[in-house]
Each structure stands twice: as structure tokens, then as C-alpha cells.
Homo-oligomer: A and B are copies of this chain.
Amino acid sequence: MIIVLRPGTGEADIEDVCRRIESLGLRAHVSRGEQRTIIGAIGDDRFKTRVQALEALECVESLVPILQPFKLASREVHPMATVVRVDGVEIGGPRLAVMAGPCSVESREQLRTVADSVKMAGAHILRGGAFKPRSSPYAFQGLEEEGLQLLAEVRKATGLPVVTEVLEPDKVGMVAEYADVLQIGARNTQNFSLLKEAGQSGKPVLLKRGMATTIKEYLLSAEYILAAGNPNVILCERGIRTFETATRFTLDLNAVPVIKKLSHLPVVVDPSHGTGHWEYVAPMAKAGIACGADGLIIEVHPKPEEALSDGPQSLKPAKFAQLMRELRPVAEAVGRSL
């Protein structure tokens, strides 16, 4: 951390800032420039977050962080790429992982139809929501535990491992009984109680990026799970909020190479939420693979026009199968397989 002092700061204030830095267990290094005096707070300030309060001193103009604030999630500390293993499927290895299925689990028949078709098309993991975070209280809120049971049943029938969302800390145990991967959605990226609980669950976690979460904050959210002892975190770019309204969100694919540089964790892309329209899912799925993602998560529904949630962004099974065929050469073009 660098502390930039206001012009004209006197020696007494400089000494006071140094003393405060040292009392926090860091070393102070003063550098007097022509325009500004700056003080370096030397040491690992990731664990000395109180240093940030120094910005409140009247003699301080600004604080400038030098280190990334996360440690366990960082590639600097952990240079080898992490591969998360889910029941035989690897996420983060040379082979891409594709998760597909309906937004919501609606019925046994719907789920089974989708599961069979995405398996046939080559998907590796079945997605499907039993607890649904919906903007409106009047919208379908999910089948809840019944949905989890259907997921478990269809997993048994198809052999596909299952990823499903958990919304509350005290439901982590229940969801973990049924699911192979716990999904934490974009509205819960900074639900720290949920992150801590998921960290203790022993299950792999698919952590989606929040719609207004910076990459730095996002990796700090992953750090919560890692710090609770769970190394199996899969990141997921799913679109951020911007001024553009032609798409539901703006898929920030820049995040893929940025995360790959900063972190060792695998990252998948969600072109369904990242665009909000089925017509844009295929091109953005290809783009996600081309820029280095380790996999995809895609919504598929047999009758999108009757879906209880997210119909407009769901692919029909035939379109999903076609996309899988088209993805293969793209994967190979960037040295991956599907």
C-alpha cells in the first residue's frame, strides 16, 4: 500500500502516519518527491486491512494498493492451474466441460427430456434450478426440494453429474446432499455467509460473477470459499450490467484472460445469461471458448415458449446439439478438445 500525502504535510504528520503504519505490523518507507511525499507501507497488507482507515487522516490525499488483495485465489501464490474434478469430469484441464439443462426444473418429464438430449449432444454436466431467485415475488420460485429429488433421479438415470443453485446458508447441507456442484448465483456473489457455508460443504462450487462485481472483488469472493478450506472453485463469467439494452447483460469476455492471468482457478462462460436471447447464445459460446474459457453453461428447454423462467434465452435441444457440433472445431483451433 502506498499512502500519498497532501502537499504541504509537515514532519509531525509524516511521523504520525509512519507510527500508525508500524503499529499495524507493516514497515514505513518515506519517499519525498517534488510534488508529493509518499509513504510505502511495506509488508503483506492483505491481512492488515485496517491500513485502509488511514485514508481518513486529513493529511492523506489517497491510498494506492500495490498488491492484489486475494492470496489463495492468486496465480502468483499458486502458479499451477487448478483442475476441479466432478465425478469423472475435469474442469480446467485440456478438455472443455459443458454444463447444460433447463433454467428451472419444472417436472420429471421436462427434466428427463432435456437431460437425455443434452447428454446425447455431448454435454458433461446437467444444470437445473430447484431454488430460483426471481426479481418478482409473483414469478415461479422453483420446485425446491422436490426439484432436487428430480435432479438426483435424473442423474441416476443418465449418469450426468448435477449442478444446481443454493440460495441460503442453511440450505447448503440439503442441496449438497443431492448435487455434485453447488452453484452460487450472480445475486449472491457477495453473500458472504453463503460463501463461508459453501466453503465448508466439501462440494465443488460454481461461483458466478455478480452483475456489478469487479474482477478483484470476484476473486475475493472466491477467496472466502478457499479460505474456508474448499479448493474446488469454478468461476463463471455471466455478463455485467452496463448501459447497453440490446442484450440482457454485457458478457465481459475480457474477464476470461484477465482471470487466467490473475488466478489459477478454472473459468467457464454462461452465454445464456450473458446475452439473454437464444439467437446470440451460439456465437458467444464460441467466443468464450476462443478466448480461453474452460467450459460453458447453457440453458436448454424443450419448449422455451412455455418455460417457467428464462425461456427467451433457452436453446431448443436440436439447436444445442448443432452448437455442440460447431464448438468442436473452435475448441480444437485453440488447442482444446470437447
A residues with CB within 8 A of B: 2, 4, 7, 20, 29, 31, 33-36, 38, 40, 42-44, 46-47, 49-50, 52-57, 64, 66-67, 69-70, 76, 133-141, 167-170, 187-188, 190-193, 196, 210-212, 214-217, 220-221, 223-224, 227, 240-247, 250-258, 261-262, 274-275, 278-280, 283-284, 286-292, 304-308, 311-312, 314, 326, 329-330, 332-334
Q: Is the CB of A312 within 8 A of B55?
A: yes
Q: Is the CB of B53 within 8 A of A66?
A: no
- A287: which B residues are within 8 A, CB to CB? 253, 287-288, 290-291
- A288: which B residues are within 8 A, CB to CB? 287
- Name A256's contact: one of B53, B220, B283, B333 (CB within 8 Å): B283
Task: Output the nearest chain B residue to A226 by Cβ-Cβ distance.
Answer: B137
Q: Is the CB of A261 within 8 A of B279?
A: yes
Task: Output the nearest chain B residue to A4 by Cβ-Cβ distance.
Answer: B66
- Name A253's contact: one of B141, B284, B312 (CB within 8 Å): B284
Q: Is the CB of A246 within 8 A of B258?
A: yes
Q: Is the CB of B292 within 8 A of A283?
A: yes
Q: Is the CB of A215 within 8 A of B49?
A: no
Q: Is the CB of B242 within 8 A of A257?
A: no
Task: Output the nearest chain B residue to A41 by Cβ-Cβ distance.
Answer: B33
- A250: which B residues are within 8 A, CB to CB? 240, 242, 250, 252, 254
- Complex: A4 Cα to B245 Cα, angstroms: 17
Q: Is the CB of A278 within 8 A of B56?
A: yes
- Complex: A129 Cα to B326 Cα, angstroms: 38
- A275: which B residues are within 8 A, CB to CB? 254, 257
Q: Is the CB of A44 within 8 A of B53?
A: no
Of listed A57, A246, A308, residue having the most chain B CB within 10 A: A246
Q: Is the CB of B38 within 8 A of A34?
A: no
Taking A138-B227, A258-B280, A287-B288 as known contacts, 15 extra A-B pairs with beta carbons closer than 8 A to each other, sorted by chain A number, are: A29-B31, A29-B33, A49-B134, A49-B136, A53-B305, A56-B312, A133-B190, A167-B192, A212-B243, A240-B250, A246-B254, A254-B274, A254-B275, A287-B287, A329-B333
- Complex: A113 Cα to B54 Cα, angstroms: 21
Q: Is the CB of B243 within 8 A of A243?
A: yes
- Complex: A241 Cα to B252 Cα, angstroms: 12
- Name A35's contact: one of B29, B44, B279 (CB within 8 Å): B44
